[in-house]
Amino acid sequence: MIRRLKILEHALSSLLRRKYKNLAIIVVYSFTIMLLASILFLTHSLKIEAGNILLDAPELIIQKTMAGRHDLIPVEYADVIRKNWGIGKITPRYWGYYYDAFTHSNFTVLGSDTPLPILKMLEGTAPSRPGECLIGEGVAAVRQIGIGDELILINSEGLGVIFDVVGKFTASSDILTNDLIVLGEADTMDFLGFPPGKATDITVEVLNPKEVQNIAGKIKRDLPDTRPITKQEIIRTYDAVFNWRSGMMLTIFSSALVAFCILAWDKATGISGEEKNEIGILKAIGWDTSDILELKFWEGIVISLTAFLTGLLAAYVHVFYFGATILAPVIKGWSVLFPPFKLIPFVNLYQVFIIGFLTVVPYVASTIIPSWKAAITDPESVMRG
């Protein structure tokens, strides 16, 4: 043990000799690791959150398609659906999009007459009378309004409509509600210009979750121009979306990693004559081949472990305390409304170990391997300058 510490001591002395160079390597390496870890932390946390909250999404959604595109669904389709066994409530939904030319942002307009329960994430109430609305934090922010103010939107006939803001979702629910404008159902139909008897889609409650596939298949057969979407598909979609987003970012930033590897490789492969001579000296004064390799091992560990831990800590703070500010421009795309990430720190330890393994091991290897040859040759050469 003491012997290991002594060799570590010399490794540190060795590294301190080129302290600015090694410091630069640690900084660059830490930064690279921070970016990679941030991406993984961010997408993992979002994925877990999505998987958790969407558990309460409707079990089955029936869309109508027309000319290969999503179309409004006739409300009387509900009667056909109701004929199936094992079905609970069937609810037509009225929702759509609203492009706000004032702020160049897209809002989601949603009709709902269900009174919301009391929630920490909700200030005020849901609309209970015509002309009232409940808005998300993002809408409130770009429009610079709050509870008690008026929200003026332009309807499908080009006329301005005034809604009283009676409720607002707080920022903690941004990930779900940022761009939402909740109106009463009648207001929504009127505002978005739904033809009578048509809804956006129909949600179907399925009493036995195991029957969802079965029922979806039956509905598809009974109503060939519809498309059923199951909750399972929604959740899987989010898995795919975040895997994809993370993959895209990893691709971008892996170029940084590759650049770093080239640097490390370059540094490592050509060990200088000076270093070879030093290894010879150490061997001549009684260091064993294994001692030399251990020295190189420590040199690699000191740099890569420090960089790994620094990068990981920085990533954690960056993602979970600062809302991934560095990554935000990359993830945001061009949308105007974008929720600040207040992420729940779901961390996958397995991922942490993978990052550690992928950063520390190759670096240590690239320090040890090039010294191998010098370490096993006889020290005789140092006697001849």
Partner 1 sequence: MDGHKFILFFNTTKARLLNVYMGKYKIFITITALQLTLLTAFLLSGYQSAQKARLQQLRDKRQIVRYLGLTDLSIWTEARYTRHPSQSDFFTPFQDFPCSLEHFPAGSIVTPLQPDHEITMEQTPLKGREK
Partner 2 sequence: MTQDTIIRTQGATKIYNPTLPDEMVALDNVSVTIHQGQATVLKGPSGSGKTSLLSIIGCMSRPTAGKVIVKDRDVAKLPERYLTHIRRKIFGFIFQQFNLIRDISVQENVALPLYPADAGFAEIRKRVHTMLDSFGILSKRKLKVKKLSGGEQQRVAIARALINEPEIIIADEPTAHLDRELAADLLNILAGLVREGKTVIIATHDPLIFEHPFVDSTIAMRNGKIEPQPEEQ
Task: Tell me which residues in 257-296 interact with partner 1 (CB under 8 A).
Answer: none
For residue 385, state whether it binds partner 2 (rule: CB under 8 A).
yes
For residue 152, state whether it binds partner 1 (rule: CB under 8 A).
no
For residue 207, state whether it binds partner 1 (rule: CB under 8 A).
no
Separation CA 220–CA 84 (nearest Å): 12
If binding means CB under 8 A, how many residues of this protein chain bind partner 2? 30
Q: 123: which strand partners? A: 168
- Tokens representing 214 are 């079965």
Out of 148, 158, 273, 286, which residue is the one contacting partner 2 (CB under 8 A)? 286
> For residues 225-244, which are near partner 2 according to CB under 8 A?
none
The answer to whether 253 touches 22, Cβ cutoff 8 Å, is no
Residue 334, contacted partner among partner 1, partner 2, none, CB below 5-8 A by kind = partner 1
- Contact string (CB under 8 A) for partner 1, positions 213-242, x = contact: x--xx--xx--x--xxxx-xxx-xxx-xx-
Q: What is the DSSP string of 278-344?
A: HHHHHHHTT--HHHHHHHHHHHHHHHHHHHHHHHHHHHHHHHHTSTTTTTHHHHHTT-S--------
Q: Which residue, 265 or 321, has its beta carbon nearer to partner 1?
A: 321
For residue 180, state whether it binds partner 1 (rule: CB under 8 A).
yes
For 161, the 3-state DSSP assignment is strand
Closest CA to 151 of 165, 138, 139: 165
Residue 110, contacted partner among partner 1, partner 2, none, CB below 5-8 A by kind = partner 1
Q: Tokens 């510490």 correspond to what residue?
A: 5
Provide, rounded to whole angstroms, the least separation between the CB of residue 384 and partner 1.
32
For residue 20, state whether it binds partner 2 (rule: CB under 8 A).
no
For 28, the 3-state DSSP assignment is helix
Mode of pairing for the β-strands spanning 226-230 and 160-169: unpaired
> For residues 358-377, which are near partner 2 according to CB under 8 A?
376
Region near partner 1 per CB under 8 A, out of 252-260, 264-272, 277-285, 336-344: 336-344
Residue 383, contacted partner among partner 2, partner 1, none, CB below 5-8 A by kind = partner 2
Closest CA to 174 of 348, 291, 342, 3: 342
Provide, rounded to whole angstroms, the least separation between the CB of residue 383 and partner 1.
29
For residue 52, state whether it binds partner 1 (rule: CB under 8 A).
yes
For residue 24, state whether it binds partner 1 (rule: CB under 8 A).
no
Out of 205, 222, 225, 378, which residue is the one contacting partner 2 (CB under 8 A)? 378
Mode of pairing for the β-strands spanning 105-111 and 132-135: unpaired
Residue 180, contacted partner among partner 1, partner 2, none, CB below 5-8 A by kind = partner 1
Provide, rounded to whole angstroms, the least separation between the CB of residue 215 and partner 1.
10
The answer to whether 137 touches 169, Cβ cutoff 8 Å, is yes
Region near partner 2 per CB under 8 A, out of 51-59, 85-93, 178-186, 285-293: 285-293
Region near partner 1 per CB under 8 A, out of 31-39, 261-269, 285-293, 300-308: 300-308
Provide, rounded to whole angstroms, the least separation between the CB of residue 44 and partner 2.
44
Nearby residues of 295 by Cβ (< 8 Å), 6 or more positions away: 7, 10, 11, 14, 282, 287
Residue 385, contacted partner among partner 1, partner 2, none, CB below 5-8 A by kind = partner 2
Out of 32, 38, 43, 112, which residue is the one contacting partner 1 (CB under 8 A)? 112
Closest CA to 198 of 68, 60, 93: 93
Provide, rounded to whole angstroms, the least separation between the CB of residue 277 and partner 1.
23
Q: What is the DSSP string of 146-191?
A: -TTSEEEEE-TTS-EEEEEEEEEE-GGGHHHHTTEEEE-HHHHHHH
Q: Which residue, 57 or 261, has its beta carbon nearer to partner 1?
A: 57
Nearby residues of 136 by Cβ (< 8 Å), 6 or more positions away: 168, 169, 173, 174, 177, 178, 179, 180, 181
Out of 29, 41, 287, 308, which residue is the one contacting partner 2 (CB under 8 A)? 287
Separation CA 377–CA 284 (nearest Å): 11
Q: What are the residues binding partner 2 (CB under 8 A)?
A: 2-3, 5-7, 9-10, 13-14, 17, 277-278, 281-289, 291, 376, 378-380, 382-385
